[in-house]
Amino acid sequence: MNNSWFSVDNFLFEKEADKKGEKFKTYLSPYFVPKAYRIGSEQQDKTVIELKYIDVNEPTKKIAHHETHRVYFEVGEKTERVYKIFFYALPEYDRKKINDSLNDVDRAFKKLSSQLTDDSEKYVAALEATKQCIRKTYHHISDK
- Residues 2-46: pLDDT tens digits? 678 988 876 555 555 566 666 655 667 778 889 899 988 777 678
Give the pLDDT confidence score for residue 26 in this predicted structure: 60
Which helix H or strand E contains 14, and what residues bound it?
Answer: strand 14-19
Give the pLDDT confidence score for residue 85 in this predicted structure: 93
> What residue type is 66 in one-letter code?
H
Specify the 3-state DSSP secondary structure of 140. helix
- The pLDDT mean for the chain works out to 78
First to last CA, the chain: 28
Strand partners, 41: 47
> What residue type is 94 in one-letter code?
D
Per-residue pLDDT at 105 exceeds 90: no
